[in-house]
Amino acid sequence: MILVTGGAGFIGANFVIDWLAATGEPVVNLDKLTYAGNLGNLAPLEGDARHVFVRGDIGDPALVPQLLATHRPRAVVNFAAESHVDRSIHGPAAFIETNVAATFRLLESVRGYCAALDGAARERFRFLQVSTDEVYGSLGPQDPAFSETTAYAPNSPYSASKAASDHLVRAWHHTYGLPALTTNCSNNYGPRQFPEKLIPLMIVNALAGKPLPVYGDGANVRDWLYVGDHCGAIRAVLERGRPGEVYNVGGGAEMRNIDVVKAICATLARLAPGRDYAAQIEFVRDRPGHDRRYAIDARKIGRELGWSPAETFATGLERTVRWYLDNAQWLASVQSGDYQRWIAQQYATSPAAAD
């Protein structure tokens, strides 16, 4: 049994589905079900006795110890986080609460649980913190890619809050002996991603005949990682990673934002012909503090754990676009309520998507 936090969100839900398919090991899934947490993401697991869903907060000092004592997981995988840069600019308080304060309380709950385990169970137990390459800051065009020893230099409230939580995890390992690992991943994309992020928003807007808003000159560079490959990397780190270590996870697919949007248009032109999608591209005012380039050096996880991505950007994008075309009901369910209020607020300032 493992405990997954934030397992109704984009990466978390894909991980839970992938984990059960790959290992069959039961999962307790704790999620607060904020705007991006969606039980519809977990529809493939309906009726599956190996999956226990609990609605709750990772910072709840009563609930989390109760779940740990009841289910006695051998590992905790922490996906729970506020993760959208633009939202952090408009309202940083929620990011500090979830990514820093609530993560601290989660660590304290896990520390107490781990300390009470017997020798063999304690030796086997792991806490895995799922983080981001954004904690490293921004790279110049010729700078080497982020490695596990790159100094943290976060530039947004989101990345600063994730950097803080990473530092807490590191400190709890070194001070208290918590057997913790951290992964820092590049930009994920794939099925079930909330459509405020670049790739799903471009797909949604393109199909609706709306503008495809691109920040600034569109030359910001990101390394793109298919979410299924990320799930495989997390499994590898959980199974074979060394406690106290950090593992960078990247897709080996650096691309400018404008080229990503053009690739989406070309893929849609093949799979859903009938419109000149590229004609919908519009350049809009850049967002504050927009990091210019991210790139991940993933050689350590390849060398030590034998992981490498299975998807290229082209094959991953094809799978992603097909999923959105085939899941109109899921898309309609998330394009209401809080999502629409967010879009209205964001479009009133700079109508682009986070990358």
Span 130-159, pLDDT tens digits: 999 999 999 999 999 999 999 999 999 999
**CA gap 170, 186 in Å, rounded:** 20
The reported pLDDT for the residue numbered 289 is 81
% of the chain exceeding 70 in pLDDT? 95
The domain of 244 spans 2-188+226-250+290-309
| pLDDT in the model for residue 31 | 95
DSSP E strands, 237-332? 246-249, 254-256, 281-284
Residue 45 has what DSSP assignment?
Answer: G
If we measure between CA atoms, which residue out of 99, 126, 252, 243 comes closest to residue 185? 252
pLDDT tens column, 89-119? 999 999 999 999 999 999 999 999 999 999 9
What is the pLDDT confidence band of residue 84, given thresholds at 50, 70 and 90?
confident
- 65 lies in some domain: yes
DSSP 121-181: HHHH-EEEEEEEGGGG----TTSPPB-TTSPP---SHHHHHHHHHHHHHHHHHHHH---EE
Is the torsion defined by CA of 86, 91, 97, 98 positive or negative?
A: negative
Write the DSSP string, 226-249. Answer: EHHHHHHHHHHHHHHPPTT-EEEE
CATH of the domain at 177: 3.40.50.720
Burial zone of 22 (CB within 10 Å; 0-12 exposed, 13-18 middle, 19+ buried): exposed
pTM: 0.92
Q: In angstroms, what CA-CA distances link 235 with 9, 116, 284?
A: 18, 25, 39
3-state DSSP assignment of residue 296: strand
Q: Which of 40-44, 226-230, 286-290 has the lowest mean pLDDT?
A: 286-290
Strand-pair partners of 5: 30, 78
Q: Is the pLDDT of residue 5 over 70?
A: yes
DSSP 33-44: --TT--GGGGGG
**Alpha-carbon dihedral angle through residues 331, 29, 175, 137, given to the nearest 10 degrees:** -10
Query: How many structural domains comprise the chain?
Result: 1
How far is 38 from 17, CA to CA, in rounded Å? 14
The DSSP call for residue 214 is E
In whole angstroms, give the CA distance from residue 30 to residue 53: 6
pLDDT value of position 341? 67
Whether 208 is in a domain gets the answer no
- Greatest alpha-carbon span in the chain: 63
The reported pLDDT for the residue numbered 351 is 47
Q: What does the alpha-carbon distance between residue 126 and residue 177 come to, in Å, rounded to a whole number?
A: 11
The CB density around residue 279, as the number of other CB atoms within 10 Å, is: 9
Inside any domain, residue 317: no
The whole-number pLDDT of residue 29 equals 98
* CA gap 15, 210 in Å, rounded: 32
Residue 43 falls inside a structural domain: yes
Per-residue pLDDT at 272: 97
- Amino acid code (one letter) for 331: L
Tokens of 19: 């984990």
The least confident of 32-36, 44-48, 126-130, 207-211 is 32-36
Q: Is residue 332 situated within a structural domain? A: no
The yes-or-no verdict on residue 337 having pLDDT over 90 is no
Per-residue pLDDT band for 352 (boundaries 50, 70, 90) equals low
Q: How many CB atoms lie within 10 A of CB 258?
A: 18
Is the residue at 277 inside a domain? no
Q: What is the pLDDT of residue 338?
A: 64
What residues are labeled active site? Answer: 133-134, 158
CA dihedral 314, 320, 323, 328 (to 10 degrees): -130
Average pLDDT estimate for 242-256:
97
Residues in the chain: 355
Higher per-residue pLDDT: 83 or 55: 55
Is the pLDDT at 340 greater than 80? The verdict is no
- Round the average pLDDT of the chain to a whole number and report it: 94
Q: Is residue 324 part of a domain?
A: no
Domain for residue 16, yes or no?
yes
pLDDT reading at 172 higher than 90 = yes
Asked if the model's pLDDT at residue 343 lies above 70, the reply is no
